[in-house]
Structure 1
Amino acid sequence: MQSIKLNTHVGSDGILHLDIPLGITDKEIEVMVIYQQLKPSTTTKTPEELGWPPNFFEQTYDSCQDDPIVIDSEGDFETREEIL
């Protein structure tokens, strides 16, 4: 017996569609579906809770305004044969 856990989305039609490749052909199998509705997260984590240093975004926002990043030319690329 194999177990597969998925997080998926039920469309507006209210029908769950499952496409699960098993690598099995021409065999009888038993399938059991157990579902649980996920509750959306109502709390938003702060940048500090996500691992950013305190005031990181306030200190770095607009830091390149006086010295914009310039991307140099990447040069010419070789011409390759067209794959047919």
Structure 2
Amino acid sequence: EVQTTLVGTFLGYSTLMVSGTGSRMGYIPFAENAMAVQEVINEILQRKDTSSAEYLDRQAKVQAEALADVLEEHEEKKI
């Protein structure tokens, strides 16, 4: 959330309020271009969600390939 005073608007400064899953709030006072900072933070958080899912997909593929290799080696030893 971005809070701006009349003077802050004139000078280009705002207070950026950051909250997470808990009840605490973090404040970044006198942030220049607070709206742009807020957009960057939101973009990073969205990218993190996407990259986490992609990371898990890659890990699952790597584990599946490793399991296939182990099974193949096991079958070769049987013959």
Q: TM-score under structure 1 normalisation?
A: 0.24
Task: Pick the structure with greater CA Rg.
Answer: 1
Answer 1 or 2: which has greater helix percent. 2
Q: TM-score under structure 2 normalisation?
A: 0.25
Greater RCO (Cα-Cα under 8 Å, separation 6 or more): 2
Answer 1 or 2: which has greater strand percent. 2
